[in-house]
Structure 1
Amino acid sequence: MQPTFSTAPDGTRFRDLNGNGVMDPYEDPRLSAAERTDDLVGRLSLEEKAGLMFQTVIELGEDGGLLETPGAISKSPTSTVILGKGMNHFNVHHISTARAGARWSNNLQRLAEQTPHGIPVTISTDPRHAFVENTGVAFSAGPFSQWPEPMGLAALDDLDVIRSFADIARREYCAVGIRAALHPQIDLPTEPRWGRQAQTFGYDADRVSQITAAYLEGFQGDALGPDSVACTTKHFPGGGPQRDGEDAHFPYGREQDYPGGMFEYHLAPFREAIRRGTAGMMPYYGMPVGLERGGQVIDEVGFAYNRQIVTDLLRDELGYDGVVVTDWELVNDNHVGDQVLPARAWGVEHLDAAGRMRMLLEAGVDQFGGEECVDLLLDLVRSGVVAEQRLDASVRRILLVKFQLGLFDDPYVDEDAAESLVGNAEFRAAGTTAQAESVTVLRDRDGTLPLFAEPARPRIYAEGFGDAALDAYGERTGRPEDADVALVRIGAPFDPRDDLFLERWFHQGSLEFPPGLAVRLGRLAEHAPLVIVVNLDRPAVLTPLVPIASALVVDYGSSDEAVLAALSGRIPPRGVLPVEIPRSMDAVRASATDVPDGTVDPLFPRGFGLFPRGFGLHPRAQAPEPAAARQ
């Protein structure tokens, strides 16, 4: 789909977005983004300004059409939020095909042309190139190329791969009209139990800073432009030190503390993100408890509500002048079916919605995530509680990004090109290679790996692997007694919960496997060499598995095919641990929430992996044996 152009008397082609037959400065492609922004801010009505300050979820209709009824997540018909509320920033969830995503994007942009100044829509997304499917965190790849979770990218310890991933993801996003990424997530997960670690890059602050730079380079380039995806880096000032590892989406996880005095350590990657020009920044839900900085007690309210954090630290001290968007639903409760998720107004639960919005504005945020209560903001301005000039400051930052991305000049995408580029064979192959290479071998007793060298078609007893993947390597048998090798693939343990909305998708609580698991797997090991593969979305306590496994391996988001390619050596694994593996839950409970490598006598230290250069060398020639091997 192509935009409609007009021609100025001097021959300049432009989009007449307000339909007045004149090339106004904000429509003039020859002017700078800043000049065009300044012109447009002065033209906007109060209603248009308010609409710009909200970003919420809307969903695709059938085959890329516009959804004109409330959806599973979205609250209002699409035309209501764009034409009625003047909103033009939307977070997309499920995309069935690249063509549907591109068509939907074009339909949104065409609808947005009907608004008074034709402000184009910015479509954003949470991560969607890996395996996790969690409405509050990330989406599985679907039509896009599939890669390991960010923790797996970190396990590769290869900045070139991360930069390449970010560039491929950028190209796929742009093809379907997604021009904003609600990532990278550069929190340092120093609390081993925290439920959002899979989307982080581990907790080595220096290395995560380097990864942040490579990631932003791949998505944004040297500066935002028509080929960029604008990144919102999160969650400032670092969401990793959650008390007891409970996540701040939920009331029982609202506290964040720093018993080790490591607040500045967690800031390091954000300093690099600012230096590299991140377009956006998102504070986390958590509220700091007992935190002092520079002799000043930090208010115990959620970070987005905290002026000391957003304005004094982020804006004034660190010099950040980009967009600050809140995490989702800080103002209103979220009701889905018979479940509710309370507004994450931690520390200010006593305030009503108007009071919360006012406090967020006073803290210094620019955009309300997951909200569409535009009338509430209008009421605050019309009643004199909030000055219209306060909105102007935020609107200017928000519009500047739209102009830098080139959306005012051409927001449309080619559906055919999207279908051919997104998830193409080259991108999928690169993703599969990264999945396999990120696999980390922690134990290889008696040279069990690589598998399947002898016999040519072994008999395999397998749990957690599909038939199609196994068939490339051997014959499945249902009896371990008949097997040449036993393969078991399991997830890291967690405590299932499902009281609050979203809760069942978050893996929280104990890191210990149920005691019967090791007993059962030990019986399998009596019949055949046992290879155990654990998917690490959190650093599970693997201690009881070490004595019974001929090989103990972890992945961070890999298909069955990729895991087997790694175990067989077809794509040699070279992953190293981006976090340490604790020896016990007692060690976890005794560790300080904010301290990296904080558990006593870890089972496997951060940075450990037996085959960091593939299967070419014997592991003992490359790395010392972990403490587990001394058992």
Structure 2
Amino acid sequence: MPKPQLQTLTAPDGTVFRDLDHDQQMAPFEDPRRSPAERADDLVGRLSVEEKVGLFFHDIIEVGPGGTLMEGDGAMARSSTREVVIDKLINHVNVHAMPSPRESAQWSNALQQLAATTPHSIPVTVSSDPRHSFSENRGAAFAAGAMSAWPEPLGLAALRDPERVREFADIARQEYVAVGIRSSLHPQIDLGTEPRWGRQFHTFGNDSSFVAEVAAAYIEGFQLDRELGPTSVATMTKHFPDGGPQLDGEDPHFPYGREQVYPGGRFEEHLVPFRRAIEVGTSALMPYYGMPIGLELDGEPIEEVGFGFNRQILTGLLREQLGYTGVICTDWGLVTRLVAMGKPLPARAWGVEHLSPLERVAKAVNAGADQFGGEALTGLLTQAVQQGLVSEQRLDESVRRLLLVKLQLGLFDDPFVDEDAAGEIVGREDFRAAGHRAQAECLVLLRNEPIGDAPALPLRSGLKVYVEGVADEEAARLGEVVADPAEADVAVVRLPAPFSPRDDLFLEEFFHQGTLDYRPGRLALLREIAAVTPLIIDANLERPAILTPFTEFATAILTSVGASDAALADVLTGAVPPQGSLPFEVPRSAAAVRASQSDVPNDTEDPVFEHGAGLRYG
């Protein structure tokens, strides 16, 4: 199928160019022979204030039925596509649910065609949260769907191999590019030093040196080079200067989780992965919602406001000390209150709740933010410029950075994708096989006591097996499935992660927060099973759950973070041996967690399993 095109012309010297400003002449920013920097410099001076302001917003957008443009309000998006792209001149959009690969590619092309009708045809940069997951979390990640399915990052971290992370990133890059996604709102390289924090499943653990190397491999796998190119996906690394040390493990998506603390004085350690991300050229960085409490920088107290509003962090530390020159995009929803799926979510304006939305916008821009995530407040930023709260010179600094990325990605020269190829690339068989292999190998074997004269795992053939939490088809691979544990030779139980259900605010139900203890009734039932047959447990370890009770009665203990039932069956039967090692220690008790320091890795007293623990077959 031919690609949809803006009018393509030939200059007097024979250069073919896209007539982006619709004037039948080749301007410097339209000249494909010039460098991205030269083209960005030229275009900045041609844009109206309204066009510049549009670049500052990275709004949520939805796909319409069958890959069409959504022209009404959706479940998440507050505006139609035309209102976002044409009326507000916004050209960075974050997509959530996506249809089939072909329909997704059709939507992407229709979106770029719409953008080509704006004054300078600035192409749209489509971004996505992680979408190769088993988790469906509308505030953090999406289930893989048609794309290849991989372990969660914490599961990949268990492999202790940055090259496996690079393999994932390269495959995810190809699948993203095929459907027109050119910006990843990841990797998440926070250090998971507070065991209760609910965002850990998308970190790579709490070892700063290892996470730094993984960050480099991830960014290089997506971006391909330190200078982005036409097959790159620009990474937005998060959450600067680290989101891990949250007070009591609560998350700053919510009002009760605003505070970020460093009782162990480890602020510099949490910067290590971000220094490496900057070194390898991450395209963008995202500051977190959290507000630092009692933190100093170079002997000066840091203002206790959210990092997205914090000039000492964004300009003083990130720009001036660390020498970062890329894009800074705030986390989503700093300025305005949101109501979605029938539930409210306050603006994450922590420490500046008393400011008006106009004042919040000005404070963030003057702090050093180039872009607002999840907002479409173009009128407010225009008003801030008109009132002198933000200078047009300040706008131009950010606009140049944002245009440079689009030009490096080749979007001005060809923003379209091949609709026929999308279905061939996304979810390709070898991509799926690589993801499945990683799912199986990342399982961590923590206990493997004998049944008779041999270790419990891998399972012997011909067993009668009692199974909970595993799909019937995969359970049948383990042996003859029986309904009564007393009739079984062995029991296999998959356990979801423990947490405290919350559902008052939007997104709370998707964030597994609170308790790390399994419910007492569940433990009692597992003890009953173990009393009549050897018990094998696979525990979802998206956070360091308290596994201590299992050591009293389980014959074998496995942990996983993003492994399918098929991957588990491969490990249980010995088709694939487990290769994982714990990316954090497993605390002995909730009391030990409460007594630990939130910014210090592996800081609980007498952990039941040490960081790096992991047995092997044989």
**Interval containing the TM-score (normalised by the shorter chain):** over 0.9
1-structure distance, mates of 2:363, 2:103: 39
Is contact 2:289-2:307 (8 Å) kept?
A: yes
Matches within 5 A, 1:339-354: 339-354=343-358
8 A contact 1:448–1:550 mirrored in 2: no
Paired residue for 1:295? 299
The partner residue of 2:48 within 42, 45, 57 is: 45
Q: How far off its partner does 1:338 sit?
A: 3.7
Q: Is the CA contact (8 Å cut-off) linking 1:449 and 1:568 kept in structure 2?
A: no
Deviations 1:62-102 (A, max 9, x none): 11100000000000000011000000000010112111211
Q: Distance in 2 between matches of 1:587 and 1:413?
A: 53
2:479 is the alignment partner of 1:474: yes
State the 4+ residue runs in structure 1 displaced beyond 3 angstroms: none
Q: Does 1:450 align with 2:453?
A: no
Partner of 1:580: 585
1:200 pairs with one of 194, 199, 203: 203
Q: Aligned with 2:532: secondary structure?
A: coil
Q: CA deviation at 1:516?
A: 2.2
C-alpha distance in 2 between matches for 1:525 and 1:473: 18
Alpha-carbon distance between aligned partners in 2 of 1:205 and 1:386, rounded to the nearest angstrom: 37
| Residue 504 (structure 2) aligned to one of 491, 494, 499 | 499
Taking the aligned partners of 1:258 and 1:286, their CA distance within structure 2 comes to 12
CA distance in 2, matches of 1:69, 1:516: 47
Which residue of the partner structure matches residue 429 of structure 2? 425
What SS does the aligned partner of 1:517 have? helix
* DSSP 3-state at the match of 1:36: helix
2:264 maps to which residue? 260
Q: Deviations over 1:373-425 (max 9, x none)?
A: 10111111112222111111100000000000000000100111110110011
> Are positions 1:591 and 2:596 aligned together?
yes
Contact 2:54 2:90 in 1 (8 A): yes
**Cα displacement (A) at 1:2:** 4.2
- Are positions 1:179 and 2:194 aligned together? no
Identity %: 57
- Structure 2 distance, partners of 1:476, 1:406, is 55
Q: Does 1:439 align with 2:446?
A: no
When normalised by structure 1's length, the TM-score is 0.96
Give 1:123 shift: 0.2
| Superposition pairs of residues 12-161 of structure 1, within 5 angstroms | 12-161=15-164
Secondary structure of 1:547's aligned partner: helix
After superposition, what is the alpha-carbon deviation per residue over 1:152-183, rounded to whole angstroms, capped at 9, x for unaligned?
A: 11101112111110000000000000000000
Secondary structure in 2 matching 1:554: strand
In the aligned structure 2, how far is the partner of 1:53 from the partner of 1:598?
41
The DSSP-based 3-state class of the residue aligned with 1:183 is coil
Residue aligning to 1:221:
224
Q: Distance in 1 between matches of 2:566 and 2:188?
A: 27
Structure 1 residue 22: Cα displacement: 0.6
1:19-66 CA distance string (max 9 Å, x none) = 111111111100000000001001000100000000011000011100
User: In the alignment, which of 260, 265, 277 is matched to residue 273 of structure 1?
Assistant: 277
2: CA distance between counterparts of 1:86 and 1:96?
Answer: 25
Q: For structure 1, which segment, 50-59 or 523-532, has the greater mean C-alpha deviation from structure 2 after superposition?
A: 523-532
CA change 1:434–1:515 in 2 (3 A) is same
Q: Is the 8 A contact 1:449 1:567 kept in 2?
A: no
More deviation, 566-575/40-49: 566-575
Contact kept? 2:459, 2:574, Cα under 8 Å: no
Letter in 1 for 2:594: R
Which AA in structure 1 matches 2:267? F
Q: Which runs of 5+ in 2 are unaligned?
A: none
CA distance in 1, matches of 2:446, 2:252: 32
Q: Which residue of 2 aligns with 1:524?
A: 529
State the 1:459 CA deviation. 2.1
TM-score, with normalisation over the residues of structure 2? Answer: 0.98
Gaps of 5+ in 1: 618-631
How much does 1:225 deviate? 0.7
User: Aligned partners of 1:200 and 1:558: how far apart in 2?
Assistant: 16
- Residue 391 (structure 1) aligned to one of 395, 407, 432: 395
Counterpart in the other structure of 1:560: 565
Counterparts of residues 163-174 of structure 1 (less than 5 Å): 163-174=166-177
Q: Residue 571 of structure 1: SS of its match in structure 2?
A: coil
Mapped contact 2:148–2:432 kept (Cα < 8 A): yes
Q: Map of 1:503-514 to 2, 5 A cutoff?
A: 503-514=508-519
Taking the aligned partners of 1:83 and 1:158, their CA distance within structure 2 comes to: 45
Amino acid across the alignment from 1:480: P
Q: For residue 369 of structure 1, what is the amino acid of its counterpart?
A: G
The alpha-carbon deviation at position 337 of structure 1 amounts to 4.7
